[in-house]
Structure 1
Amino acid sequence: MSRLHVVSGKGGTGKTTVAAALALALATEGRRTLLVEVEGRQGIAQLFETEALPYEERKIAVAAGGGEVHALAIDPELALLDYLQMFYKLGSAGRALKKLGAIDFATTIAPGLRDVLLTGKACEAVRRKGKDGRFAYDSIVMDAPPTGRITRFLNVNDEVAGLARVGPIHNQAQAVMRVLKSSETAVHLVTLLEEMPVQETVDGIAELRAEGLPVGDVVINMVRPAILDASAVDAAATYERAGIARALSQAGLGSPRAGGRAERLVEPLVQQAHEHAERVTLERTQRAELSRLDLPTHELELLTEGVDLAGLYRLAADLRKQWAA
């Protein structure tokens, strides 16, 4: 089964929240999960209500059954220092370059280099083993860049391997791609039941498949609860106002005569019903579009009070239930 779970999605779909919930879900029953942040936003620290994450792996949560979630915010500059030390034994020289600003300069002018370092660090965690020969982590979850650039982000090492045909850089790039294009990896896409996020998800999956990158599941996030049943939604367009006023009056909400309380309630209620019917129709269309992808799909509810730590555990439990179903 996949050990590296890459979570992407259009901005605003809640991909960081889904990545955090996924990490908690994968850490149940005593497992260890590493949650990796690559965009420098400290979104993981905010979700888990902890201090800003340093460039080191730190336990941030305990999952159901005693499992652990560790987190790492990858700093490209420090990752480059690690890289220089690992392959060129330039520990002190690398630190001197950092003081001169060369490291920051290199990672800023060469975004591709940043992506090489970020993906390389995550894949190193996938391969790492302890003294007992077991993997250090059962699963690694990466809160990855948005869908619009996820394919380029994951595929950057292929380009590097083509440019540097020999030496440690070539070997490292190939090793990373062996992980990213294997069954050890799954790229999950987060979307909402709206036209733009769904279209970006469809396009992103097509790009990933074209490059041979393994597509995982689709997660539909922030799903609103159903207020009306299917028949009520279909009838919303033909509601007869006088009948609604009579029903409201019978329920004790005033006289149906013009100017009465029931009469004043009719128009807002009909408007809300129409808006809800339009929303449900849109959601049906987008679900049908996603079903054509022929991928496992999960749905997570909209947490109307916002996402806090309790909400994360709730979403994680929901994911576990859907896996078991």
Structure 2
Amino acid sequence: MQYRKLGKTGFEVSEVSLGTWQVGGRWGDAFDEQNAAQIINKAIDEGVNFIDTADVYSEGQSEAAVAKVVKSRSEQVYIATKCGRQISPHTSEGYTPERLKGFVEQSLRNMQLETLDLIQLHCPPTEVYNRPEIFETFEKLKEQGKIRNLGVSVELVDEALLAMQYPNVTTVQIIYNMFRLKPGEEFFSKAKENNVGIISRVPLASGLLTGKMSPETKFGPEDHRTFNRQGEAFDKGETFSGVDFHLGLEAVEELRKVFPGQEPLAAWALRWVLMSPEVSTVIPGASRPDQVEANIKASNLPALSQEQMQAVQQVYDQYIRPSVHELW
């Protein structure tokens, strides 16, 4: 495992880490605490020292499972969590200092911790980024010892740029993968200037970039890949990176030609993300321990060649850019 600096936090974090949206079962399945513990332990065994969770993942069960395992280990493992998505309707008006303080305190209770390593606003409405009092709230929480760092998880590149106007924003979590190139073009250089850590989420485009899907692939009724393809439940870009499923499959077939050989496309997709030195860590999810092991392999793959990087760009320009580039 290789490690990179996570912006202003000063943390040295594993370049391949763990996202826990589907830890404990696949999306929509009942939470399985034993499976979650196996996944998290496997990640730490493989050198992962940064785990991302959220208060809305399995209604706090993911937070609790992550903290329980981390406390049982001797290694230094940083836990990042998120808050704000419990607000319904999810509007700027719903974001108040008192409500956000309550979310932080609930996460502390869920994890039985005194301090959160990193709390992130969980894809708030764009208007929230123009409300200084929201960001001041977390500065007060830091002074009280309840958090160490504040970050944001964003949908839009423009939101990432707005967030960096606040000096206490230490990290930005953003979708960045072979089907979502815009952050690398418009945001990464600014993040480097501001010493803001970049956390790359949805790196496999909800599984499309594993190369294991086909037109016949079916998903469960509670799986967001079934019910959110057009953004019915939350931002469309969170599902398959906003790419039409069948168009994405066509693009994947082209990517297979760029990366033939023994290693699966998923590992190369993660290695592609790591080709950007501005990225601090990439956080693929896993629903089984063996998926963790497969993801970790990306850290040890050789660098992509210039020809491979250009080929990925060409696939994006031909298949993906026209329909998604300007949306996020």
The alignment's TM-score, normalised by the length of structure 1, stands at: 0.35
The alignment's TM-score, normalised by the length of structure 2, stands at: 0.35
Give 1 or 2: higher helix fraction. Answer: 1
